C-alpha cells in the first residue's frame, strides 16, 4: 500500500465525516456495494478505521444484482468473505427489465430507482437506518451538470442527506475524495475488478458529462476545484428569481 495515497484518501474521508457528523457510536450502517472501485474503497476504509477509532459501528454491505448474465455475485461474495465483510446479495431482474420493451424511460433511470428503492427496503428489514454510498467528489460535480443539462435545475448529491422524515440518513464519506486518487488506491491494493456487464454502462448521460468535464479540466488545472467550491458559495441575489 502507498502510504501517501492512503493518507490523502483517509484525510478526505475524515474531513467529510467530521464536517457533516456522518457516523456516531453504535450506528448500524449499510454500505451500498456495487463492485466498483469507489464502493470497494469506501468499504475498505470504513472497515479499516474501526480498529483505530474510539467509536464503534456495525457495517453490512448490500449488493443489488441487476440480473444480467455473467453476474459477478459469487466472486463478490468470495472477496467479501476473504476480507471479513458482512455481505447480503439481492438477486433482481431490474437491469433486464429496464432494458426491455416494458420500459419506455431511460434504462439507467429506472434501474437506479428500482435498486435504490430495494436498498432502502432491505436496510429497513435488517434494521440499518444509515446508508453509506461510494459517490466521490467527481460524482458530485458530474451530478451538478447532469441536473443542469437534463433537468433544468441547479442541484447535486449532498454529503449527508435525511430521507423519509429522517427515518434514513444517506452519507457519502468519499465526497471530498477525487476519483483518480481512489482508482490509484484500488490499483495499489490489488482490488479485484468486477466488470459491469450492463449494456448501457459505456453510453450513459453520466459518461457523456464525465468526458465533457475531462476535456474542460485539461484547459486549466484550477477548474475542478473551482466548480466544487462554487457549490458552497451560492449567491441567491445573483440568480434568476421571477417571483421578485
What pLDDT was estimated at residue 93? 82
The four Cα atoms 235, 239, 242, 244 give a dihedral, to 10 degrees, of 30
Q: For the purposes of burial, counting CB atoms within 10 Å of the CB of 90, is it exposed (0-12), middle (13-18) or buried (19 or more)? A: middle
- Which of helix, strand or coil describes residue 42? helix
Residue 61 parent element (H or E): strand 57-65
- Going from the N-terminus, what domains does the chain have, and what CATH number goes with each? 3-238 (3.40.50.620)
DSSP-derived secondary structure for 160-203: EEEETTTTEEEE-TTTTS-HHHHHHHHHHTT--------TTTTS
What pLDDT was estimated at residue 241? 83
C-alpha cell at 190: 490489488
Q: What residues form DSSP beta bridges with 238?
A: none
The annotation places the binding site at 32-34, 38, 64, 134, 139
The four Cα atoms 168, 68, 187, 215 give a dihedral, to 10 degrees, of -80
C-alpha cell at 26: 453504535
Beta carbons of 60 and 85 less than 8 angstroms apart: no
What pLDDT was estimated at residue 1? 60
Closest CA to 145 of 156, 137, 134: 156
The annotation places the binding site for ATP at 32-34, 38, 64, 134, 139
Half-sphere exposure of 106 (CA within 13 A, CB side): 10
Residues 6+ apart with CB under 8 A from 49: 10, 13
What pLDDT was estimated at residue 198? 78
Q: How far apart are the first and last CA of the chain?
A: 56
What pLDDT was estimated at residue 196? 81
Mean pLDDT by groups of 10 residues along the chain of 244 residues: 89 97 97 96 97 94 91 95 96 83 75 91 97 98 96 96 94 98 95 84 83 97 97 93 76
What pLDDT was estimated at residue 202? 67
Closest CA to 170 of 178, 179, 159: 159
Amino acid at each position: 500500500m502507498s502510504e501517501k495515497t492512503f493518507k490523502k484518501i483517509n484525510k478526505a474521508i475524515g474531513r467529510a465525516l467530521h464536517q457533516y457528523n456522518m457516523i456516531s457510536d453504535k450506528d448500524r450502517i449499510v454500505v451500498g456495494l456495487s463492485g466498483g472501485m469507489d464502493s470497494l474503497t469506501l468499504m475498505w476504509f470504513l472497515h479499516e478505521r474501526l480498529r483505530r477509532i474510539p467509536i464503534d459501528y456495525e457495517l453490512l454491505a448490500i449488493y443489488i444484482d441487476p440480473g444480467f448474465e455473467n453476474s459477478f455475485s459469487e466472486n463478490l461474495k468470495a472477496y467479501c468473505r476473504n476480507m471479513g465483510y458482512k455481505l447480503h446479495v439481492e438477486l433482481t431482474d431490474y437491469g433486464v427489465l429496464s432494458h426491455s420493451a416494458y420500459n419506455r424511460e431511460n434504462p439507467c433511470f429506472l434501474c437506479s430507482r428500482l435498486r435504490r428503492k430495494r436498498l432502502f427496503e432491505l436496510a429497513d428489514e435488517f434494521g440499518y437506518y444509515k446508508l453509506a454510498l461510494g459517490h466521490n467528489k467527481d460524482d458530485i460535480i458530474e451530478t451538478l451538470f447532469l441536473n443542469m443539462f437534463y433537468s433544468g435545475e441547479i442541484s447535486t448529491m449532498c454529503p449527508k442527506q435525511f430521507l423519509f422524515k429522517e427515518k434514513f440518513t444517506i452519507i457519502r464519506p468519499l465526497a471530498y475524495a477525487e476519483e483518480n486518487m481512489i482508482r490509484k488506491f484500488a490499483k495499489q491494493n490489488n482490488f479485484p475488478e468486477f466488470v459491469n456487464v450492463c449494456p448501457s454502462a459505456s453510453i450513459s448521460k453520466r459518461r457523456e458529462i464525465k468526458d465533457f468535464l475531462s476535456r474542460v479540466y485539461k484547459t486549466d488545472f484550477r477548474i475542478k476545484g473551482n466548480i466544487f467550491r462554487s457549490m458552497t458559495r451560492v449567491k441567491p441575489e445573483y440568480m434568476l428569481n421571477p417571483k421578485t
